[in-house]
Amino acid sequence: MKKDLSLKDIKPGQTVRVINILGEGTLRKRLIDMGITPGVKIFVRKIAPLGDPIEVNLRGYELSLRKDIAKNILVNKNIIN
pTM score of the predicted model? 0.82
Neighbours of 16 (CB within 10 A): 25
Q: Kindly state whether residue 80 falls inside one of the protein's structural domains.
A: no
Given this model, what pLDDT does residue 1 score? Answer: 41
Given this model, what pLDDT does residue 46 score? Answer: 92
How many domains, the chain? 1
Q: Kindly state whether residue 21 falls inside one of the protein's structural domains.
A: yes
Band (pLDDT 50/70/90 cuts) for residue 2 is low
The range of the structural domain enclosing residue 37 comes to 5-75
Given this model, what pLDDT does residue 81 score? Answer: 57
Q: Is 26 exposed, middle or buried (0-12, 13-18, 19+ CB in 10 A)?
A: exposed
pLDDT for 8-65, tens place per residue?
Answer: 889 999 999 999 998 888 888 888 888 898 999 999 999 888 778 999 999 888 999 9
Backbone φ, ψ for residue 52 (5° rounding): -145, 120
Q: Kindly state whether residue 59 falls inside one of the protein's structural domains.
A: yes
Q: Kindly state whether residue 54 falls inside one of the protein's structural domains.
A: yes
CATH number of the domain encompassing residue 55: 2.30.30.90
